[in-house]
Amino acid sequence: MTSVVTPATEPPTEPGDEAVVRRRTGRWIEHWDPEDPDFWESSGRQVARRNLVWSIFAEHLGFSVWLLWSVSAAMLARAGFDFSAQQLFFLVAVPNLVGSLLRLPYTFAVPTFGGRNWTMISAALLVVPTVLFVIVVQRPDTPYWAFVVIAATAGFGGGNFSSSMTNINYFYPTRLKGSALGLNAAGGNIGVALIQFFLPIIVGAGGAFGAIKAADAINLQRVGYLYAVLAVIGAVAAYLFMNNLASASGKPRETLAVARYKHTWIMSLLYIGTFGSFIGYSAAMPLLIKINFFRSPIPTESIGINFVYYAFLGALVGSLTRPFGGWLADRVGGARVTLGCFLAMIVGTLGVFYSLTLLDPVPVPAPEQIAAWTADPASFPGFSPEITAAVNHNSDIFPWFLGLFLFVFAATGIANGSTYKMIPHIFKAQAQNATTAGTDERRAAEARAVKEGSAALGIIGAAGAMGGFLIPITFGSPWVGDPVEACKAAFMVFAAYYVLCSVVTWSVYRRPGATMAEAGV
């Protein structure tokens, strides 16, 4: 193992950190070889674990801020804002679009600035969307376009995923990448579930399955203040406890070189189906429940299923199953797990579609009538027998809808973990197929494969996040007049996409005789 001399004036900061050297720009590790068993057991494991913990924390905050609008959008009517279903679906989709576009530059940032340094910057950037959120939700006269612009800044949180995953990929040996990346991603993903669970409670809308009752008024700004403080804590924690790896250095041109490989784009297609589904469904679920199972013509009167009790469950299930997908892929192969998940997603999505076909149409009062009731709540006559009967019938269908949807979420979570296991394995297999074992050429190719795999994680992650934009947009299709019918049509589109992904996964990574199948990807 190559030794590194640490200057006597600046001793290692922690036991086991003998590879850490300080520079003006922060703590750097000059030598890092996790594939060396002696290095890994003597010091590598401890340092990697510490960086993983604080990476998870920062990424967790990023995901929470990224999905801040997913729940808030469904509460804007109660806060005094009047937006249509299509406008609300677009509002929750915009952060996903921006987050997907930011994932490429965030991937470049790790080799350019260092993983620790960029974690500090990216965590601090979360102050921007949270403070703007505080301002805008307290002004009912704010125009819709301003909401869209401010929601777009929440995309900063979506970019965090790529930089975090790229960074952690460098820290762990190939045999543990599936589990490490799965834990890192799950820690971030669960930020979606927590923001969807705690936001209603924090702002006074109630929650915890009805155990916490709603207040007379909601205060959406509270959650903005909270996450602005947490963002500052995340930046300080990265400064104190994380490291940069000199071996992770590179240039954007080198990173973009992986765009020449067909597997980068094949895995992007698949990751749109896995992670894109997870983040898209998570963003849309509060509105899906509200549109299909809930009626509240005025803020003080409601009937049906309250979305604040259940909206977080999908993201929670998808987050908890992600590390299991990485663990399982480490043992039986990523492609095998991914294919099984796509088949499960086809079945589950068709089941969700079928549950929606069982719903009864709910009569909708005229807009002018709703406006009159809102202006004078005392004039509201109560829910008609027709509305009550339809909503009660639909509430009886809700357990089937929820159970099938959670099944889809579980499959997306497992597939997220398994696909991220496949990516570094694919690049290592390419390096081994092109070189001879035991040669310097093989060693150089494998070292290059680690960098290429990390770069591919960023590009594939960016493509996958685009699904988080496309799914809410499809649910809110402006070309379908009835929001309920738009939801049903969307699920059929998604099922067809999963069929395509299943065919591609089998033909490229599981078909007997395929190069990657023989490599055990």
Which tens digit of pLDDT belongs to each residue from 440-473?
787 777 777 777 777 777 788 788 888 888 888 8
What digits encode the pLDDT tens for the residues 220-245?
888 899 999 999 999 999 999 988 88
The kind and range of the H/E element at 21 are strand 20-23
The pair of structure tokens assigned to 282 is 């998570």
Closest by CA to 426, choosing from 401, 452, 403, is 452
Mean pLDDT value across residues 491-510? 92
207 backbone dihedrals φ, ψ, rounded to 5°:
155, -155
Q: Which amino acid is at 279?
A: I
Q: So what CATH class is 25-369+385-518?
A: mainly alpha
| Better-predicted residue by pLDDT, 191 or 299 | 191
- Give the model's pLDDT for residue 233: 95
Least confident of 253-257, 269-273, 376-380, 492-496: 253-257
Least confident of 206-210, 384-388, 510-514, 515-519: 206-210
Instruction: Give whole-number Cα distances, 259 to 165, 419, 455, 458, 460, in Å.
Output: 18, 17, 9, 11, 10
Give yes or no for a contact between 197 and 207, defined as CB atoms under 8 angstroms apart: yes
For CA atoms 137, 143, 148, 153, the dihedral sign is negative
Give yes or no for a contact between 256 and 445, defined as CB atoms under 8 angstroms apart: no
In this predicted structure, the answer to whether residue 397 has a pLDDT above a threshold of 50 is: yes
What digits encode the pLDDT tens for the residues 63-118?
899 888 888 887 887 777 778 777 888 888 889 889 888 888 887 888 888 888 99
Closest by CA to 182, choosing from 332, 365, 329, is 329
| Better-predicted residue by pLDDT, 287 or 22 | 287
What digits encode the pLDDT tens for the residues 37-61?
888 888 888 888 999 999 999 999 9
- pLDDT grade, residue 344 (50/70/90)? very high
In this predicted structure, the answer to whether residue 31 has a pLDDT above a threshold of 60 is: yes
Share of the chain above pLDDT 90, in %: 22
307 backbone dihedrals φ, ψ, rounded to 5°:
-65, -25
Instruction: Give whole-number Cα distances, 399 to 360, 407, 409, in Å.
Output: 15, 12, 15
In this predicted structure, the answer to whether residue 1 has a pLDDT above a threshold of 60 is: no
The mean of the pLDDT values for the chain is 82
Mean pLDDT value across residues 425-453? 76
- Give the model's pLDDT for residue 26: 46
Mean pLDDT value across residues 326-345? 89
- Give the model's pLDDT for residue 215: 67
- Give the model's pLDDT for residue 23: 47
Q: Which residues contact 512 (CB under 8 A, 6 or more apart)?
A: none
- pLDDT grade, residue 154 (50/70/90)? very high
